[in-house]
Amino acid sequence: MAGFALSSLIGLLNRMLYSGVFGTGVSLDAFFSANRVPDILFNLMAGGALASAFIPMFATLLTQNNRPGAWRLASGIGNLLILGLSLAAALVWIAAPWIVPNLLVPGYDDPVAAFVAGQHHTFPFYKLARQGHWRIPDDIAVVGFDDDTNEAEILPALTTVAQPHKVVGREAVRLLLAGLEGRSISNQARLIPPHLVIRDSCG
């Protein structure tokens, strides 16, 4: 009973750690999907072999005071698990291009567009796209936000949603002066629409 409670508590802490690192969203889903294969391999080989075969035999040999035999059994099982898991991991690595889209995340298609919020996200995303062999904009279109001056200089130049900073600034000054002069200010929100600056990242 105590072992079951301890196992549940560790599992809860494990989930809390994952959520703290990845947050809730696509990153956590990707982690759990990727972690599914090693979990299955461990449960089938290490977990099953230890629970159903090794532990009872090892305990029996120890109760019979046959320590050399017990440790020979432990060594043999350990070597077998290492070889088996290594072979299984190699096969999974080779078959990963088929396993991932057909078993782990069936029905998932590569994204065709991405929205990056600001320059601090743009450069890491471009690097990630290059590592994933995604060509911008041939494989994936990219749109940024706020139209930073550097975003027109990266290759390919980033299409952005540009905010009208001058219009926003003038409106803010007008409201400030109206307040200082004691004039009434409407509480109704004023929407100042942005505009799209189309560059090379959208084809």
* 87, 6: one domain: yes
CA atoms within 13 A on the CB side of 8: 5
* 56, 117: one domain: no
Confidence band for 12, pLDDT divided at 50, 70 and 90:
confident
Contact 113, 137 (CB under 8 A): no
Could you write out the DSSP letters of every residue in the chain? -HHHHHHHHHHHHHHHHHHHHH-SSHHHHHHHHHHHHHHHHIIIIIIHHIIIIIHHHHHHHHHTT-HHHHHHHHHHHHHHHHHHHHHHHHHHHHHHHHHIIIIISTT----SEEE--SHHHHHHHHHHHHHTTPPTTTT-EEEEES--GGGGTSSSPPEEEE--HHHHHHHHHHHHHHHHTT-----S------EEE--GGG-
The whole domain housing 125 covers 113-202
- Report how far residue 55's alpha carbon sits from residue 42's, in angstroms, rounded to the nearest whole number: 16
Confidence band for 73, pLDDT divided at 50, 70 and 90:
confident
Residue with tokens 């060594």: 75
The answer on pLDDT for 97 being more than 70 is yes
Which has more confidence, 94 or 53? 94
Which has more confidence, 15 or 152? 15
* 14, 87: one domain: yes
The answer on pLDDT for 110 being more than 80 is no
pLDDT of residue 28: 72
Q: Which of 12-16, 34-38, 43-47, 116-120 has the lowest mean pLDDT?
A: 43-47
Q: Which of 61-65, 88-92, 151-155, 186-190 has the lowest mean pLDDT?
A: 151-155
Which has more confidence, 72 or 105? 72
Count of domains in the chain? 2
The answer on pLDDT for 169 being more than 80 is yes
CATH number of the structural domain spanning residue 170: 3.40.50.2300
The answer on pLDDT for 185 being more than 80 is no
The answer on pLDDT for 1 being more than 60 is no
pLDDT of residue 50: 66
* 149, 91: one domain: no
